[in-house]
Amino acid sequence: MKLRYLAFILLGFMACDNELNVIEDYQDIPIVYGVLSSSDTAQYIRLERAFVDPNTSALDIAQIADSLYYEDASVQILHDNQIYNLERVDGNLEGYIREEGAFAQAPNYLYKIRTANIPLIDDEAYTLQINTTDNTEPVSSTIDLVGASNITTPSSSIGFDYIQPTRVRWRKGDNARIFDILIQVNYRERRLSSSTGFERKFVTWNMGSNIESSNDDIENFERPGIDFYAFLAGELEANPDIERRFDDITVILHSGGFEILELNRVSGANLGITSSQDVPNYTNLSRGRGIFTSKFKEEKPGIALKSSSMDSLIEGQITKDLNFKS
């Protein structure tokens, strides 16, 4: 999931309460967003605060960096009677650049711990505990960690038929409750009018989002193969000066925890694990607003395209103008 989810939670909550509760006293509400994943090299927790202030616009407050963050907060993860302290860092320096908008861009504080410094074990309980040092109760939430899922189909090659559906199958990990499937198409292209060689590129097709878990250990998802070609035709430029060569496909499976499933059910919106849509009022925290959950990302690279599908890519009615060559 993307860290910018919190921007939508924070802005929506501040704007709504600032409008509806103008006669209430000043309030300070912790806003938390955290997703643990053993497939990432570091874990980040975002902690901000929302205000209900009868005298100040929420949009004005959002532009004041000092008003967004707790100065002396402590963020910890508890596991197996051990306490792991997270360090406050500037997300802008970590590669998480805050986009321009309603919120102050810098600093962009996050709380970080390297995955190598905390054991993330499938199906074990982890508690997030936050003290905002304002003489209030700690913010806490406990989850069971999502384990690794294993893609079983495709194994070495995949086909996309104009008529028949394409299927992806996987053995789900512990506590995995909702899934997104992405198809990354790896290819090379060059301009015939230029002396430069081929440049490696890729495009990513969202094959399926918000796929809820069944009661079976093995999950599967199907989608009409023709949609694959329609995606490519809409994504790539049809230009006779561009020559392309198909390389292979990477199948990517995002598995999300129970909390993400509940978030989607509450929202009733098309909100995928890796999307950036607005987040409704939902929380699994002891106080404040936000979400603490876990996910896992499985990648299966080097998947070949079946010969019949390669023919359709090169010569088929939908994609022939993309100028793929064998």
The answer on 18 and 73 residing in a single domain is: yes
Please identify, among 95, 121, 145, the residue that sits at the C-terminal boundary of a domain.
145
Higher pLDDT, 269 or 188: 188
pLDDT at res. 58: 56
Residue 119, CB-side half-sphere exposure with 13 Å CA sphere: 10
pLDDT at position 9: 40
Please report, for the domain that includes residue 44, its CATH number. 2.60.40.10
**Is 264 or 320 the better-scoring residue by pLDDT?**
320
Rounded mean pLDDT, 218-225? 97
Residue 54 is predicted with a pLDDT of 60
pLDDT band, residue 68 (cuts 50/70/90): confident
- Across-strand partners of 246? 187
Please tell me which residue, 101 or 281, carries the higher pLDDT value. Answer: 281
Whole-angstrom distance, CA of residue 289 vs CA of residue 282: 7
Determine if the pTM surpasses 0.85.
Answer: no
- How high is the pLDDT of residue 100? 67
Local structure of residue 54 (DSSP, 8 states)? T
Strands 242-256 and 324-325: parallel
pLDDT confidence of residue 106: 72
Asked if the structure places residue 263 within a domain, the reply is: no
Q: What is the mean pLDDT of residues 305-312?
A: 98
By the 8 A CB rule, do 79 and 118 touch? Answer: yes
Q: What is the amino acid identity at position 96?
A: Y
How much is the pLDDT for 306?
A: 98
Q: Evaluate whether residue 277 is within a structural domain.
A: no
Asked if 145 and 293 count as a contact pair (C-beta separation under 8 A), the reply is no
Query: Does residue 278 sit in helix, strand or coil?
Result: coil
Q: Say what the pLDDT of residue 277 is.
A: 45
Same domain, 140 and 183: no
Q: Could you tell me if 127 and 229 lie in one domain?
A: no
Same domain, 212 and 240: yes
Given this model, what pLDDT does residue 214 score?
Answer: 94
pLDDT score recorded for residue 133: 78
- 206 and 76 share one domain: no
Residue at which a domain ends, from 101, 130, 145: 145
Residues 89-115, mean pLDDT to the nearest whole number: 82
Residue 193's pLDDT band (cuts 50, 70, 90) = very high
Within-domain flag for 291: no
**If you average pLDDT over residues 115-140, what whole number do you get?**
93
Q: 8-12, 133-137, 231-235 — which one is most confidently predicted on average?
A: 231-235
More confident residue, 273 or 186: 186
Judged against a pLDDT cut of 60, whether residue 4 lies above it is answered with no
Domain of residue 217, residue span: 150-254+300-325
How many domains is the chain built from? 2
Are residues 130 and 192 both part of a single domain? no
Regarding predicted confidence, which is higher, 42 or 11?
A: 42
216 shares its domain with 245: yes
Q: Residues 316-320: what's their mean pLDDT? A: 98
Counting beta carbons within 10 angstroms of the beta carbon of residue 37, is it exposed (0 to 12), middle (13 to 18) or buried (19 or more)?
buried
Residue 19 lies inside a defined structural domain of this protein: yes
pLDDT band at 107 (very low <50, low <70, confident <90, very high): confident
**Quick one: 140 and 172 in the same domain?**
no
192 and 317 part of one domain: yes
Q: Is the pLDDT reported for residue 23 higher than 60?
A: no
Same domain, 163 and 124: no
In a domain, 77, yes or no: yes
- Residue 231 pLDDT > 70: yes
Average pLDDT over residues 39-58: 79
pLDDT per residue as tens digits for the range 146-177? 999 999 999 999 999 999 999 999 999 999 99
Q: What angle do CA 278, 148, 306 make, to 5 degrees?
A: 90
How many Å is the Cα radius of gyration of the chain? 23
Residue 261 is assigned to a structural domain of this protein: no
Q: Distance from first CA to last CA of the chain, Å, rounded?
A: 36
- Same-domain pairing of 248 and 310: yes
Do the Cβ atoms of 96 and 51 come closer than 8 Å?
no
Tell the burial category of 133 from Cβ atoms under 10 Å away from its Cβ (0-12, 13-18, 19+): exposed
Reported as a pLDDT band with limits 50, 70 and 90, residue 3 is: very low
Q: Which of 84, 110, 145 finishes a domain?
A: 145
- Residue 16, pLDDT above cutoff 50: no
Instruction: Note whether 212 and 315 are same-domain residues.
Output: yes
Residue 276 falls within a domain, yes or no? Answer: no
β-pair type (42-52, 27-36): antiparallel
278 within domain boundaries: no
